[in-house]
Amino acid sequence: MFNFFKKKFADPTPAVRAEAAATDAPASMQRQSWLSKLKAGLRKTGGSIATVFIGTQIDDALYEDLESALLMADTGVKATEWLLQDLKRRVKDSRTTDPAAVKGLLVESLCHLLAPLQKPLVIGHYKPTVIMVAGVNGAGKTTSIGKLTRHLADTFRAAAREQLGVWADRNTVDIISQDGGDPAAVSFDAVSAGKARGRDVVLIDTAGRLPTQLHLMEELKKIKRVIQKAGPADDQASATDPTDASVGADSRIPPHEVLLVIDGNTGQNALHQVKSFDDALGLTGLIVTKLDGTAKGGVLAAIARERPVPVLFIGVGEKLEDLETFNAREFAQALLT
Ligand SMILES: Nc1nc2c(ncn2[C@@H]2O[C@H](COP(=O)(O)OP(=O)(O)OP(=O)(O)O)[C@@H](O)[C@H]2O)c(=O)[nH]1
Ligand SMILES: [Mg+2]
């Protein structure tokens, strides 16, 4: 079992990062180029917040401006209140009188707020690991699945080189689809095929366009129920007898992950989607797309405060390399520095 992207992009302490830079230059270069992309993508959101700190005094006006800037960035009332309170405490403790230093303290507050959202996607625990992907029309589901598929193939190839030569030559991706077929039945077929063919991962794309939100939820719930009927996957991590249904039976039943893709551009509306999809489906993670060019990137803080479903990946563009794992500190720094 390994955490997705662990090899390439773990969240290293500075010491480990230095070591990684020495031994794994291409990976750290990739992460560097991702960081500059992330920074560019978040410029619109971060820019208006950063202007609050260009004055010479830390006073009520600064906090009021900051409050407006955070609300404008769709941080939401609750997260904005939390951030202001936490920041004021940090400013008091540090006894700083320099507005520029307050920006650095805001990075710390934001980092603290976002940290619970940071969680790696674990694959390899179940065989196959079944990942159902939901989201409204145009959120970026299919694009994200395409990017993930490529990353997964790379991750497995990297693991294969290091551990098991046999994985290397394996034909990596099958696509199961059926025009006009019942989505739940196609999903069931895909999971069954994944099991029969000994695949590592099954990704299930779903449609976002249905007459109403209610129709969409009902269809997604049905897809989830039908996927469950495909029966338990092999548990690769536990030492228990896989035929003993009384042990860990629930966790082996697919889908192992139910991910919601949200369009970061939709701000507070994305938060509403998280709440309603989570209520209907029991989400295990989020993919937040289109953070490039939006002024509403504060929505991640709102999610952290109001419905902290882990953010597994964030997207800042349409290209393959524009989807990456979410790291709270990177995000806070990219946003504000
Ligand atoms: N700028 C930008 N565009 C993105 C990103 N992710 C996806 N897109 C674009 O968003 C559009 C919609 O993406 P899709 O992947 O088709 O969305 P979907 O959720 O599968 O849509 P439906 O299947 O119709 O429900 C496409 O033009 C993508 O290229 C991103 O991170 N940044
Ligand atoms: Mg699609």
Counting from 1 in the atom list of ligand 1, the atom nearest the Cα of 206 is 23
Q: How far is the CA of 183 from the centre of ligand 2 (A)?
A: 13
How confident is the model over 61-73, as a mean pLDDT?
Answer: 96
Q: How far is the CA of 144 from the centre of ligand 1 (A)?
A: 8
**Helix/strand/coil for 176:** coil
| pLDDT top residue among 169 and 134 | 134
Q: Which ligand is nearest to the CA of 138?
A: 1
Q: Using one digit for the tens of pLDDT, what is the confidence trace for 7-22? A: 333 343 333 333 344 4
d(CA 329, CA 93): 21
d(CA 51, CA 284): 36
d(CA 10, CA 30): 13
How confident is the model over 56-67, as a mean pLDDT?
Answer: 95
What's the pLDDT band for 214 if we cut at 50, 70, 90? confident
Q: Which ligand is nearest to the CA of 136?
A: 1
Pocket test for ligand 1, best of 143, 206, 216, 277 (most atoms within 8 A of CB): 143
**Helix/strand/coil for 233:** coil
The finding on whether 319 has its CB within 6 A of some atom of ligand 1 is no
Q: How far is the CA of 143 from the centre of ligand 2 (A)?
A: 7
Q: Using one digit for the tens of pLDDT, what is the confidence trace for 228-243? A: 998 888 888 765 555 5
The finding on whether 176 has its CB within 6 A of some atom of ligand 1 is no
Pick from 289, 245, 244, 287: nearest CA to 265: 289
- The pLDDT score that the predictor gives to residue 240 is 53
d(CA 321, CA 265): 19
**Helix/strand/coil for 324:** strand
Residue 117 reports pLDDT greater than 60: yes
Pick from 89, 17, 34: nearest CA to 326: 34
CB 283 within 8 A of CB 309: yes
Question: pTM of the predicted model, to two decimals?
Answer: 0.87
Pick from 231, 227, 168, 179: nearest CA to 203: 227
Counting from 1 in the atom list of ligand 1, the atom nearest the Cα of 315 is 31
The finding on whether 137 has its CB within 6 A of some atom of ligand 1 is yes
How confident is the model over 117-145, as a mean pLDDT?
Answer: 92
Query: CA geometry: angle at 19 spanning 13 and 21, to 5°?
Result: 100
Residue 2 reports pLDDT greater than 60: no
Please report, to the nearest 10 degrees, the dihedral formed by the alpha carbons of residues 319, 322, 325, 326 taken in order.
-140
d(CA 150, CA 171): 13
d(CA 261, CA 311): 10
The finding on whether 152 has its CB within 6 A of some atom of ligand 1 is no
What ranges in the chain are assigned the alpha helix state H? 6-9, 14-23, 25-41, 43-50, 60-72, 77-94, 99-114, 141-162, 183-196, 213-228, 249-252, 268-281, 299-306, 328-336
